[in-house]
């Protein structure tokens, strides 16, 4: 029985590796990350191996950033505050500092950011009055809409849960 499970796992891994190499297209002037393997040091001093594939269909397919530390979370929160307002920055820090489920053994190990296609990092800064007006309009539109703000859909926490789903 154990041999069957190992053979099945190896077959699935081989399929995933071969599928991922076909799913990603190479770039002409830059290498692309197709997969990563990380060794996590858990609070009880044990370790956990995490394999991340960035191929088509993977949970990590559109990963733009991986945040792995408190300082990284603070940097992301500052960027979210600049782009989307104070509430968005606080959302990042809440995701970093809060267990995904109440009964999870620990807080997240890393955050994954999946940015939208239309982000404009070169947008001119608004005057302070305009910024206050823009944020007040965002708050008003958020109150009238039940839709999840874009910045919430872009961020997900990983590796703090009791059960680790293989991606």
- What pLDDT is stored for residue 122 in this prediction? 74
| HSE of 140, CA atoms in CB hemisphere, 13 A | 6
Q: Is residue 31 part of a domain?
A: no
pLDDT in tens, the chain (167 residues): 545 554 445 455 554 544 444 567 888 998 988 899 999 899 999 998 888 888 887 888 889 999 999 999 999 999 999 888 999 999 999 999 999 889 989 999 999 999 888 877 776 554 444 455 455 545 544 454 567 888 888 999 888 876 655 54
Instruction: Please give the model's pTM, rounded to 2 decimal places.
Output: 0.68
Q: Is residue 11 part of a domain?
A: no
- What pLDDT is stored for residue 16 in this prediction? 52
Q: Say whether 42 sits in a helix, a strand or coil.
A: coil
Q: Is residue 120 part of a domain?
A: yes
**Tokens, residue 89:** 């920055």
Residue located via tokens 């807080």: 107
Q: Say whether 109 sits in a helix, a strand or coil.
A: coil
Task: Give the distance, in angstroms, between the CA of residue 88 and the centroid of all CA atoms in the same chain.
Answer: 15
**Domain containing residue 82:** 67-158
- What pLDDT is stored for residue 18 in this prediction? 44
Q: Is residue 110 part of a domain?
A: yes
Q: Is residue 35 part of a domain?
A: no
Q: Is residue 104 part of a domain?
A: yes
Count of domains observed in the chain: 1
Q: Is residue 143 part of a domain?
A: yes
């Amino acid at each position: 029985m154990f041999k069957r499970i190992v053979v099945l796992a190896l077959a699935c891994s081989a399929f995933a590796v071969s599928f991922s190499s076909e799913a990603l297209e190479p770039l002409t002037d830059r290498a692309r990350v197709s997969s990563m393997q990380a060794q996590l040091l858990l609070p009880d001093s044990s370790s956990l191996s995490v394999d991340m594939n960035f191929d088509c269909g993977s949970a990590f397919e559109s990963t733009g950033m991986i945040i792995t530390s408190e300082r990284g979370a603070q940097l992301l929160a500052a960027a979210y505050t600049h782009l989307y307002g104070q509430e968005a920055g606080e959302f990042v820090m809440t995701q970093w500092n809060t267990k995904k489920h109440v009964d999870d053994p620990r807080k997240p190990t890393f955050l994954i950011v999946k940015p939208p296609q239309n982000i404009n990092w070169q947008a001119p800064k608004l005057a302070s009055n305009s910024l206050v007006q823009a944020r007040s309009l965002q708050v008003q539109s958020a109150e009238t809409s039940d839709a999840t703000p874009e910045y919430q859909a872009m961020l997900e926490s990983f590796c703090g849960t009791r059960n680790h789903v293989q991606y």
